[in-house]
Amino acid sequence: MDKKHIVKTYPHGDLTIVWKPGLCSHSGVCFKTLPEVYRPKEIPWIRPEMATEEALREQISRCPSGALTYRQAVPETAGEQESVSVQVVPGGPLIVRGAISLDLGGQTRTLEGRNTLCRCGASSRKPFCDGTHKTIAFD
């Protein structure tokens, strides 16, 4: 199985961290924010028991690529419809939050949660960002 289809889960109380390595843009937000939880040189590299559920939710909400998400055993806002927002990262990708439909050359794909879309045109995972903008000095 190739990396873009891998999904790993890490349970912690009512929260389950979901990690999709194929979406990661390697921003480092995870291990810079909670270094006691995210330890890239160890196996397993995510140790959710080292932080509170609240701290994990807050950190995961900062993941720009959507590679890290979480599931709650009990929905926090059952019945509320999520709004869509788009953030332009200076010198980087578009961060899209919320449910959207994306037309991929005649094939429609529904995206949910957080997704990072390439703006530089150099990503090997178009339309998704793979962090290449850092190496080509995209502005």
pLDDT at 75: 53
Domain of residue 56 covers 3-72
- Residues 58 and 26 grouped into a single domain: yes
Q: Give 88-99 pLDDT, tens digit per residue.
A: 999 999 988 888
Quick check: is 79 in a domain?
no
Q: Do the domain assignments include residue 59?
A: yes
18 domain-assigned: yes
pLDDT digits (tens, 9 = 90+) for 5-46: 788 999 998 889 999 998 888 889 999 999 999 999 999 999
- Residue at 77 is within a domain: no
Residue 126 and residue 89 share a domain? yes
pLDDT for 115 beyond 80:
yes
| 59 and 12 co-located in one domain | yes
Instruction: Find out whether 66 and 23 touch, Cβ atoms under 8 Å.
Output: yes
What pLDDT does 125 receive?
Answer: 86
Left if phi > 0, otherwise alpha if psi is -120 to 50, otherwise beta: which for 91? left
Q: Which residues contact 107 (CB under 8 A, 6 or more apart)?
A: none
Average pLDDT of span 41-54: 93
pTM of the model: 0.58
**Average pLDDT of the chain?**
86
Q: Does the residue 113 lie in any domain?
A: yes
Residue 10 domain-assigned?
A: yes
Q: Is there a single domain that holds both residue 7 and residue 61?
A: yes
Give the number of domains in the chain.
2
Same domain, 34 and 66: yes
Largest CA distance in the chain: 45
Same domain, 64 and 90: no
Residues 6 or more apart in contact with residue 46 via CB below 8 angstroms: 8, 10, 17, 19, 37, 38, 39
Residue 26 lies in a domain: yes
